[in-house]
Structure 1
Amino acid sequence: MARLIDYCLGGRFTEYTSALQQEFVSASLHLTIGTIPLELRRDRDSDRVVATWLSDGQEKALALPARRAAGEVLPGTGVEVLSDLIFYLAGLPIARVRRSKVNDQSPLERLSFRDLWNFCYLDQDDMDSNFFDLDGEAEFKKRLKARDVLRYILGYHQEHISELEARLDDVRQGRNVLEASSEALRQALLEVGVTSVADLQKQMEVLDEAISRYKAEIERVRAQTFPAGPHEADRLREQARELFSEIGELEREIDEVRIVQKRDEHHLNDLKGLSFKFKRDRSARAVLGSVEFSHCPRCTQPLPPRDADQCTVCGQAEAREAPPATEEVVEADLKLRVNELSEMVEKHRAALRRLEGDLRLAQQEKVFVDQQINDAVRTYDSQYLSQHLDLERQLAAAERQRLDIERLGRLPKVIEDNAQKVGILTADEKALREALKEARALAEKDTRNLKKLRELFLDCLLRSKLSGFQEDDVVTFQAPDFFPRVASAEADGIAFNSFSNLLSGGKKTLFKCCFAVALHRLATAVNAPLPKILLLDSPMKNISERENKPQFEGFHDLIYDLAIGELKDTQFIFVDKEYKLPPEGFDESDFYLRHMTPDQLDAPPLIPYYRGK
């Protein structure tokens, strides 16, 4: 039943029991979030959950992914998965944490309900094998998520910090989009030979002069009865020869730039290799310089005596080591030269892109001129008609080119506007990063909740009568580890108990349960967003109610005391082989016992008719 509850809340079945293999179709879970009743139904082997709840007196139903987000499913709420819906119904913002804890540039990811549920559902399989994924053997990603949950509950990840992180992420994404679009526009302009607004203006002025000249020439030709001059085909052939020469020159320039680029890249790689060898040799000299050889490292025979200024191995005069200042100068010079060569290689690449763009334009123009030559030869008209058509074509080409450039003229302005916006966003990003840094520092300086958790954890250990712990013990878990250690005051902190060195499986189980109870007590005290439910599957695992009676009764008494006191609003679910009756005065309406016995009407099993294994 515990696993079915977990399954409805997005858990996975690693292996079905024989009964579930034959009979399981779907599972439904009824729960209350705040004051909102919610029903979750999940079919067998389905990755989706059907949620039904009441909102403003109306029933709403929604099918959504159990774990993996695939876009917003509840418009205008940001709800994408079951975890988001639970946060939404609870009136809480969808918690997000940074994926990397050392890189402020890393993206945000959800702190999901499943991450919080890890401290509410202590399943039997992992009860004494891992400590909430906080121990060193846990998967790295899970360990970081477990730490995030504790930081969230302790108040290190406050709502103000979440808002700052979300705003910082939005500003950073906006800046990246603007920079990427500006760079794409800049590369596109570079390929057509435009580097600035002044270049565009100059090209437009040249085209305006050409258009005026063509128009005047057309009027002059029209005014002449017998116009004289070269035929259109002759002019086009001359233009084709010029384009052919230009293409050849561009190809030679591209080959030369590629040769220089390869040479500089080769030189750059040599320098990087030299820098690596220099650091490696220096490290080797530092290591071997302090070694005193008494025997030959090759043949292992004893070495003859040497003078003080001679090498003990080869007998040559000791080489004088270069002073550290010289090595620093060499390393700085190498770094400077590497930077210079990297900059030169990047300039070569930019030049190649520009030349290749010019080559493509020249080749396209050559194809266009060749087509015009073919047309002119095919339609060899009178001298007047030929000259007139030639001028008309040149005028149309110039006007078309001017229109294209006029359209391009808006792009440099867009780049400049984007640069101004990037500057504003960069300043906003810096300010948000500083504010976030200060907010995190202030949150982590407040250790009151951490101190409270230490006290509550030790109190749970003592009240559960777990052997080996004393009132003067000291609990420590400093951020970012959060892995608890209970040190003995008598041993001055040298000897300590932790989940890792508790050899008894029963003690590990109770140790882990006590930490979960302490965390729920803290969450209740500070009103932290931790689900008010604690599901313990076999808390008395490896603990006998007869041979370990003090621990058995102590833990039950602890839970009963908390259930009517600090954690009266928390629902406890025990799945175990034995239990201790609640004390006198305990409200019977708050206590529900459910046995599962075949052929017993008042305590039927989960599948009453099933009689298999």
Structure 2
Amino acid sequence: MKIHLKKLLVRTRRTVEQIDFSDSVTFLHGPVSTGKSTIARLIDYCFGGELERTPAIQLEFVAVELSLKLGGYDCTIERAANDNQRVRVTWNGIDNNIGSVNAPLVAQSESLLDAEVYSLSDLIFYLCGITPIKVRQRSRDPESPLIRLSFRDIWWYCYLDQAHLDSSFFRLEDPFRGRKSQDAMKFFTGLHSERLSQLETELMQIIDEQRTKREAVLQIRSFISRFELGSELDMAGQLQETELALNMAKTERARLEITRYSETHPTDELRSTLRRLSSDIESISLAIAESTESIEEQRALRAEFITTKTKAERVTQAWEILEGVHCQRCPDCGADVLGRPQMEDQCRLCGSPKVDNRITSSLDQEVARRDLNERIDQIADSIARRERELNRMKKQLVKAKTLKESLDAQLQEELARYDSAFVENIRAIEGEIATLSERIRSLQRLQQMPHAINALEEEAGALQGRIDRSRRNLAEERDRLHNADENIIAIAREFKRIMLAISFPGVSEQDHVLIDPRNWKPAVVHGDQDWTFWDTGSGGKKTLFNVCYALAIHLVARGRGLPVPTLLIMDSPTKNISEDENPELIQSLYREIYQISRDQDEPKLQFLLIDSDLVHPDPPIQDFSERRMAGEPDAPSLIPYYTGP
């Protein structure tokens, strides 16, 4: 599941701060209260999380914009300080496949796209090309409906936040969130027993359906034999005789109509109604054409707004890059202009009066961005209203045409009536025709019984193929669950290897790790004893336990193609570990993380590390990026001008 961060723009009341992310490892370090953890929280905020409202965030934060790669799409996620219900997501994919929606955090009833996308979580999975599993909405209720796994449930394994590193093992101790965390591990490893239950239920339903159809065949044949309805050939003979009598009756009716000689008098009211309907149909057809053309124009306008928004962001970036550039030579003729005297209020190159072309403030940019978003949404609402009106007019057109056809038929019938002298004759012949027609319909229905028997027998035979396919799917699902067991064993082995590699206190080569898929709590077994995260005692060991387990999951996922996001954020992975007392432990931990980053192939696992002290990779890592945040001029805090708690 490819998720790759590119940059984070933090809009404050006075500045726009940009944090660039490396393709491999980004290391943020510095003293406390400089905004390091806030960067990770803002990334989490863009993915639908809650934002810790520190004093700096309350006073200065305006909006955040995260640029990233989701699957094959270049995406931008925008969220303002007061966006509590929705998040703006804009994407650009292959073949200029662009889109922009205001995705709700909680699933809504209407789909956002032409797919099963009802929330921000569904949209992230959709853009990444991943179909999440369905889990029970209430895990302890077997009758609870199945819902799609939420992205927030798997995000715990990608963002190790500082607050829970030494107090929670991926929320497994929480009676409510623990079930979601277990569902995430089932999704990662392929262990999902609900699918096996569904396949077994489906197989039983198909077998019952086949048995029902075969019993129906026996009952229909018993019914035909009991009432002596005859064979299919006998029914065909009776049907042929009745059809011959019906044709003779129709011929007699036609003869009576030919001999009729009387003037017809169709009502003027019926003619007037038909003329009015024709006019209405023409007006509605014209309105439908105009509405269709207007909808297409508004769709084109919405696409232009989305493109304008993207271009505006690129212009801002270009201005920031070229701001402060001075020409040494004339770009037209190449003459040296360094020696030319410069007036304070004139351009040294062309001599024109200087004009302040600086970009607008951060607040103005935010206002423009919100205005574009509102216009995109307004046009989308307008398109929806026009489409509803268009559908209403189409239904009205169909209704008018149907009424006109009925009235046309009525007019023709009125024109073709006999005068009173022929009423009795025509009634008699019509009664005979009706009787014969009903008899034909009855015979045709009875004639369908043998066909129905044959069809039921064929359907029962065809169901055998579905039964065989369902049994094959059951076998494959059981094999897949076997593969899931192998994935779980691989995670346990990798977990032990990483703990040994960093010299985890109390773990030796003779120990082994067990992961029970019933509760997903890894236990280290040492002789007759075993211990888990909750038995480590030390806060530092709990932190290391969390970090090692997350690394193991991501490494196995990379090697076995499991659907784990290719991003790991670790805020203070050496929490509660003293650099003075345990320098070897800290060095070995980061040495293992850097080695993982060096050895990986595509898709690469992207690391964002946050700690107080920088540990340099040795040997160096390509694209390694570090940023010191100390509240100093050469190492500013996240909000440079802010001073306060």
Q: TM-score, normalised by structure 2?
A: 0.51
- Mapped to 2, the partners of 1:452 and 1:59 lie a distance apart of 39
Choose the corresponding residue for 1:584, options 618, 625, 628. 618
Structure 1 residue 498: Cα displacement: 0.7
- Mapped to 1, the partners of 2:134 and 2:141 lie a distance apart of 12
Structure 1 residue 93: Cα displacement: 4.0
The answer (yes or no) to whether the contact 1:132–1:146 under 8 Å persists in 2 is no
The match for 2:148 is 110
Aligned ranges for residues 317-336 of structure 1 at < 5 Å? none
2:109 aligned with 1:70, yes or no?
A: yes
Secondary structure class of the residue paired with 1:593: strand
The match for 1:12 is 49
2:61 aligned with 1:51, yes or no?
A: no
- Mapped to 2, the partners of 1:432 and 1:105 lie a distance apart of 27
The letter of the residue matching 1:605 is S
Aligned ranges for residues 259-408 of structure 1 at < 5 Å? none
The letter of the residue matching 1:575 is I
Structure 1 residue 564: Cα displacement: 1.3
Aligned ranges for residues 61-140 of structure 1 at < 5 Å? 61-67=99-105, 68-75=107-114, 77-90=115-128, 92-99=129-136, 108-135=146-173, 137=175, 139=177
2:611 aligned with 1:573, yes or no?
A: no
The answer (yes or no) to whether the contact 1:51–1:63 under 8 Å persists in 2 is yes
2:569 aligned with 1:532, yes or no?
A: no
With over 3 angstroms needed to count, the CA separation of the structure-2 counterparts of 1:427 and 1:139, relative to structure 1, is farther
Between stretches 552-561 and 441-450, larger displacement belongs to: 441-450
- Mapped to 2, the partners of 1:94 and 1:409 lie a distance apart of 49
With over 3 angstroms needed to count, the CA separation of the structure-2 counterparts of 1:580 and 1:171, relative to structure 1, is same
1:536-567, Cα deviation, whole Å (9 max, x unpaired): 12212222211232322221111122121237
Structure number with larger C-alpha Rg: 1
The match for 2:270 is none
With over 3 angstroms needed to count, the CA separation of the structure-2 counterparts of 1:29 and 1:488, relative to structure 1, is same
Aligned ranges for residues 485-504 of structure 1 at < 5 Å? 485-489=523-527, 491=528, 495-504=529-538
The answer (yes or no) to whether the contact 1:98–1:106 under 8 Å persists in 2 is no
Aligned ranges for residues 437-448 of structure 1 at < 5 Å? 437-446=474-483, 447-448=485-486
- Mapped to 2, the partners of 1:29 and 1:524 lie a distance apart of 24
Structure 1 residue 144: Cα displacement: 3.7
Secondary structure class of the residue paired with 2:91: strand
Aligned ranges for residues 462-501 of structure 1 at < 5 Å? 462-489=500-527, 491=528, 495-501=529-535
The answer (yes or no) to whether the contact 1:534–1:571 under 8 Å persists in 2 is yes
2:488 aligned with 1:453, yes or no?
A: no
Between stretches 129-138 and 46-55, larger displacement belongs to: 129-138
Structure 1 residue 575: Cα displacement: 2.0
With over 3 angstroms needed to count, the CA separation of the structure-2 counterparts of 1:455 and 1:526, relative to structure 1, is same
The letter of the residue matching 2:88 is V
The match for 1:558 is 592
The answer (yes or no) to whether the contact 2:44–2:50 under 8 Å persists in 1 is no
The answer (yes or no) to whether the contact 2:188–2:562 under 8 Å persists in 1 is no
Structure 1 residue 103: Cα displacement: 11
- Mapped to 2, the partners of 1:119 and 1:128 lie a distance apart of 15
- Mapped to 1, the partners of 2:447 and 2:539 lie a distance apart of 73
With over 3 angstroms needed to count, the CA separation of the structure-2 counterparts of 1:102 and 1:428, relative to structure 1, is farther
- Mapped to 2, the partners of 1:24 and 1:133 lie a distance apart of 29
Secondary structure class of the residue paired with 1:586: coil
Secondary structure class of the residue paired with 2:77: strand
With over 3 angstroms needed to count, the CA separation of the structure-2 counterparts of 1:134 and 1:601, relative to structure 1, is same
1:84-126, Cα deviation, whole Å (9 max, x unpaired): 4334433x34122453999999865323433332211111222
Secondary structure class of the residue paired with 2:609: strand
Structure 1 residue 30: Cα displacement: 0.9
2:62 aligned with 1:30, yes or no?
A: no
Aligned ranges for residues 152-163 of structure 1 at < 5 Å? 152=190, 156=191
The match for 1:603 is 635
The letter of the residue matching 1:473 is D
Q: TM-score, normalised by structure 1?
A: 0.53
Choose the corresponding residue for 1:434, options 451, 471, 476. 471
Structure 1 residue 430: Cα displacement: 5.0
- Mapped to 2, the partners of 1:40 and 1:15 lie a distance apart of 19
Structure 1 residue 169: Cα displacement: 11
- Mapped to 1, the partners of 2:57 and 2:559 lie a distance apart of 40
Secondary structure class of the residue paired with 2:163: coil
The letter of the residue matching 1:6 is D
1:210-254, Cα deviation, whole Å (9 max, x unpaired): xxxxxxxxxxxxxxxxxxxxxxxxxxxxxxxxxxxxxxxxxxxxx
The answer (yes or no) to whether the contact 1:127–1:509 under 8 Å persists in 2 is yes
The answer (yes or no) to whether the contact 1:27–1:42 under 8 Å persists in 2 is yes
The letter of the residue matching 1:573 is L
The answer (yes or no) to whether the contact 1:38–1:51 under 8 Å persists in 2 is yes
The letter of the residue matching 2:124 is I
2:187 aligned with 1:149, yes or no?
A: yes
Structure 1 residue 27: Cα displacement: 1.8
- Report how many residues are paired: 416
The answer (yes or no) to whether the contact 1:521–1:567 under 8 Å persists in 2 is no
The answer (yes or no) to whether the contact 1:449–1:522 under 8 Å persists in 2 is yes
1:255-298, Cα deviation, whole Å (9 max, x unpaired): xxxxxxxxxxxxxxxxxxxxxxxxxxxxxxxxxxxxxxxxxxxx
The letter of the residue matching 2:613 is Y
The answer (yes or no) to whether the contact 2:172–2:178 under 8 Å persists in 1 is no
Structure 1 residue 40: Cα displacement: 1.3
Structure 1 residue 458: Cα displacement: 0.7
- Mapped to 2, the partners of 1:454 and 1:8 lie a distance apart of 32
With over 3 angstroms needed to count, the CA separation of the structure-2 counterparts of 1:30 and 1:146, relative to structure 1, is same
The answer (yes or no) to whether the contact 1:473–1:486 under 8 Å persists in 2 is yes
The answer (yes or no) to whether the contact 2:570–2:609 under 8 Å persists in 1 is yes
- Mapped to 2, the partners of 1:54 and 1:86 lie a distance apart of 14
The letter of the residue matching 1:8 is C
Structure 1 residue 456: Cα displacement: 1.0
Over the matched positions of the two proteins, sequence identity in percent amounts to 30
With over 3 angstroms needed to count, the CA separation of the structure-2 counterparts of 1:18 and 1:409, relative to structure 1, is farther
With over 3 angstroms needed to count, the CA separation of the structure-2 counterparts of 1:55 and 1:69, relative to structure 1, is farther
The match for 1:370 is none
The answer (yes or no) to whether the contact 2:629–2:636 under 8 Å persists in 1 is yes
- Mapped to 2, the partners of 1:589 and 1:14 lie a distance apart of 29
The match for 2:546 is 512
Structure 1 residue 127: Cα displacement: 1.9
Structure 1 residue 475: Cα displacement: 0.6
- Mapped to 2, the partners of 1:53 and 1:465 lie a distance apart of 45
The match for 1:523 is 557
The answer (yes or no) to whether the contact 2:75–2:89 under 8 Å persists in 1 is no
- Mapped to 2, the partners of 1:105 and 1:432 lie a distance apart of 27
The match for 2:576 is 542
Aligned ranges for residues 184-199 of structure 1 at < 5 Å? none
Structure 1 residue 524: Cα displacement: 1.3
Secondary structure class of the residue paired with 2:164: coil
- Mapped to 2, the partners of 1:69 and 1:417 lie a distance apart of 47
- Aligned-pair Cα RMSD in Å: 5.6
Secondary structure class of the residue paired with 1:25: strand
- Mapped to 1, the partners of 2:586 and 2:116 lie a distance apart of 46
- Mapped to 1, the partners of 2:629 and 2:87 lie a distance apart of 31
Name stretches of at least 5 consecutive residues in structure 2 with no aligned partner: 1-38, 210-226, 230-431
